[in-house]
Structure 1
Amino acid sequence: MKMIISCLVLLSFLAGCNQSPKNGASPSPTNETNRQVQVKQTAPQKKEIVDSRAVSERLEQIATSIPQVESANCVVFGNTAVVGINLPPDMDRSKVGTIKLSVAEALKKDPYGVNAIVTSDMDLSARLRKIRDNVRNGRPISGSAEEMAEIIGRIMPQLPRDVQPSPQSTEPQMPNQNM
């Protein structure tokens, strides 16, 4: 009887040492535990903008290469480009959205346009053209910084997750519901 018990203890000990991981993965060999896998980045990388005028002209050419885009105005502010496109005034809203998306896709393929902001708003495009003309006439873009901030603010949505709480209150203010 002692022989059977000692054989069972020995077998259970050996079976316990040979268990596979609980998640079903095969055990990794001991000589490959420190090996790292390197993956190449596949998303286009944004290039540092050195010559803003050349980048502006390049992005305008890309935008106007899309059918039905009459003209484009681009302003490069720091490392951000804002491209305003002019479309026929009688164009359908759904078609405007499709062309705007086509311009954004074309700009995405360019390393300078990968993070460009595209707008088809006629008012914003006219303001961009005015700023672009001022920059080309030698006026510094720093004088138009506030207007550029307003333009970008109108284009970019305000996402609730991006809102930082004010230092005075940490709890959100709820509207008065006793009406």
Structure 2
Amino acid sequence: MNIPNQITISRILLIPVFMVFLLVDFGWGSFALLGADIPLSHFIAAMIFIVAAATDWLDGYYARRYNMVTNMGKFLDPLADKLLITAAFVGLVGLDMFPAWAAVVILSREFAVTGLRLVASGSGEVIAASIWGKWKTVSQIVAAAALLLHNVIFELASIPFDTVMIYIAVILTLYSGIDYFVKNKHVLTESQ
């Protein structure tokens, strides 16, 4: 297994650690940061989430730079993204910090595109991430990070940055899902 794929697997392995800090009340209290009151465990979860999300860029950069792009990486990388985002949004819904309707839209798209990729793989085709899929992932990561940090960056200005990012993430999620299906409709028509 090459280094980019090992980095991707490290992202998957960070997910349970992230979830523990997000969901378990350790009783560590909270602290004020730029006007926002953040539970220490949520701050730690946010840092783990951000590090895990950054490995998405790192593994892709390393794979392209050193010509280590593999079909396994093309499959594992989007899967790791989906697992990380799913864990974050499901955890945030459970904490009543993320709207359930947005989580359903986002997760439905993720399952649909994963299904499309599985059908394509049955005929030996690999559907790599599109530019819209990458922007979708970035918007979801920014939305989740803003929520995990209790909107700390814009709390002083009273700008609901986290709410704006939720809507941007939902819009990009829907658009990128439609884009995948339009560009790869042959996968479904040829599989009948």
Fold in common (TM above 0.5)? no
Q: Which structure has the larger Rg?
A: 1
Structure having greater relative contact order (Cα 8 Å, sep ≥ 6): 2
Which structure's residues are more often strand, by fraction?
1
Please identify which structure carries the higher helix content. Answer: 2
